[in-house]
Structure 1
Amino acid sequence: MKFSANLGFLWSDRPYLDRIHAAHKAGFDAVELHWPYDTDAAEIRAALDATGLPCLGLNTDRGDTDRGENGLSALPGREEDARAAIDQALYYAARIGARNVHVMAGFAEGPDAHETFVANLGYACSKAGETGLLIEPLNRYDAPGYFLNTATQGKAVIDAVARPNLKLMFDCYHIQLMQGDLTHRLTDLLPLIGHIQIAAVPDRGAPDHGEIHYPHIFAHLDALGWQTPLGAEYKDPRPTDDTLGWLAAARA
């Protein structure tokens, strides 16, 4: 099994460029970013090239974070802003060679939000070129009011958009909190899944404790033929280098 370091959380006390080199030194097979837009794309690309690490993805801009926004693409009336964020993310992703863009829905609800999200995702799919697109359900405890909450809802959105370059980001942490039954959901949704992330439940720490027995998940994904690196997107109060025992165990 291969693993990707999510540099939105891991080594978050360091500049992005240093995080890429830290992930390489720690033995990760890839990296993924959250919102790297304050760092010049050419510098990110140079660090990726120097380490040989692929970038699996980044997120669209959250919007006005001072007002608590966390994505724009499901917000009726904000289509212009949402599409500008999509354009920005796709342009940056192309410059650094990122494989995917996660299109963030934001805080919204109801049929109008669904239709807005579907329309904006259709726009993104038409603009993406070789870049893949992802949507991610977020659990209602960490992100109350977020439009997309479950894998079931994510499938409905993907079916409505009906474009082959739109996939589901299956974060085991979020899906376990909202729906559970990870083994069967991974099996059933595998054709729609574009990326998988891992963290402990319920504390979102390193994936070596809690409700999810990750050795089982890893073995199951291996049996399914999953080959893309799994995204380690966890929060831990310890320095990241002190949390990586799970990675050594998985390698063993």
Structure 2
Amino acid sequence: MKFSANLGFLWADRPLPDAIRAAHAAGFDAVECHWPYDFPAAEVKAALEETGLSMLGLNTRRGDVTAGENGLAALPGRETEAREAIDQSISYALAVGANCIHVMAGFASGQQAHDCFVGNLTYACAKAAPYDLTILIEPLNRHDAPGYFLTTTGQARDIIEKIANPILKLMFDCYHVQLMEGDISHRLHDLLPLIGHIQFASVPDRGPPDRGELNYGHIFQVIRDLGYDSPLGAEYKPQGMSDWDLGWLHDAQEL
């Protein structure tokens, strides 16, 4: 199996180009990130070319981080900012060769938020379509992100089916799904046609996948048996130095 290092958590103490090099040295097959915008795209692209790694995806910016914002796309009245963030993410993705953009919903609720999110996602799909990019939406759990608009795979499915654009996909993060819904194996099977990327971390501590209540040896086997062959995103918080927690990686790559 193939794995992508999420550099929002792994080697997050290093500049993004150096984190890319560290992921390559550790044996990852690809990388992904959260918010790369503080780093010149040319430097990130150079590190990717140097290592031969691909950048799978990045997030739209969160908004006013000092005010605790975590996305803009479902915030009524903030459509202009949300679409500027989408445009920014598309430009950066094209500059570094990223494949996917996670459009972050933000903290909101109700029908107006739903309609706003649908409108902004429709905009994102229209803007991304000429460039063969994938737009992702990701349910977040209520423990880590209380008040976040998108919380379940069922809610995500309804939005994806309503918009009905083939480039809009689900980011299935096993960590978030387990905390909100459980039944990971069946949900992977049922949602596979809608899934654009899969991430993982241990539950409940969001650490490496060799601990906690989920048996990732089994889950990785389920994913492989389903025929999903894109790199899986290691979006976990390392327990100390990132390099110390990678025993799981070499075992899982043999599956």
Question: TM-score over 0.5 for the alignment?
Answer: yes
Task: Give SS of 2:169's match.
Answer: strand
State the match for 1:70 in structure 2: 70
Q: Which runs of 4+ in 1 moved over 4 A?
A: none
Per-residue deviation, 1:206: 0.4
CA contact 2:208–2:238 (8 Å) conserved in 1: yes
State the match for 2:98 in structure 1: 98
State the match for 1:3 in structure 2: 3
- Does residue 229 of the first structure (1) align with residue 226 of the second (2)? no
Write the deviation string for residues 94-136 of structure 1: whole angstroms up to 9, x where unpaired.
0000000000000000011000000000000000021110000
Q: Separation in 2 of the partners of 1:183 and 1:237?
A: 26
TM-score, normalising length: structure 2: 0.98
Q: Separation in 1 of the partners of 2:164 and 2:228?
A: 23
State the match for 1:238 in structure 2: 240
Per-residue deviation, 1:237: 3.1
| Identity value in percent | 65
State the match for 1:169 in structure 2: 171
- Does residue 147 of the first structure (1) align with residue 154 of the second (2)? no
State the match for 1:209 in structure 2: 211
Q: Separation in 1 of the partners of 2:55 and 2:209?
A: 21
Write the deviation string for residues 49-73 of structure 1: whole angstroms up to 9, x where unpaired.
1111011000000000111100000
Which runs of 5 or more residues in structure 2 are unaligned?
none
Task: Give SS of 2:210's match.
Answer: coil
Task: Give SS of 2:93's match.
Answer: helix
State the match for 1:200 in structure 2: 202
Q: Separation in 2 of the partners of 1:131 and 1:139?
A: 26
Task: Give SS of 1:231's match.
Answer: strand
Q: CA RMSD in A?
A: 0.6
Count matched residues.
Answer: 252
TM-score, normalising length: structure 1: 0.99
Write the deviation string for residues 185-232 of structure 1: whole angstroms up to 9, x where unpaired.
000000000000010000000000111100101111111101000000
Q: Separation in 2 of the partners of 1:156 and 1:4?
A: 28
Letter paired with 1:119: G
Per-residue deviation, 1:13: 1.1
Per-residue deviation, 1:155: 0.4
Letter paired with 1:206: P
Per-residue deviation, 1:251: 2.7
Task: Give SS of 1:82's match.
Answer: helix
- Does residue 20 of the first structure (1) align with residue 20 of the second (2)? yes
Task: Give SS of 1:86's match.
Answer: helix
1:190 to 185, 189, 192: 192
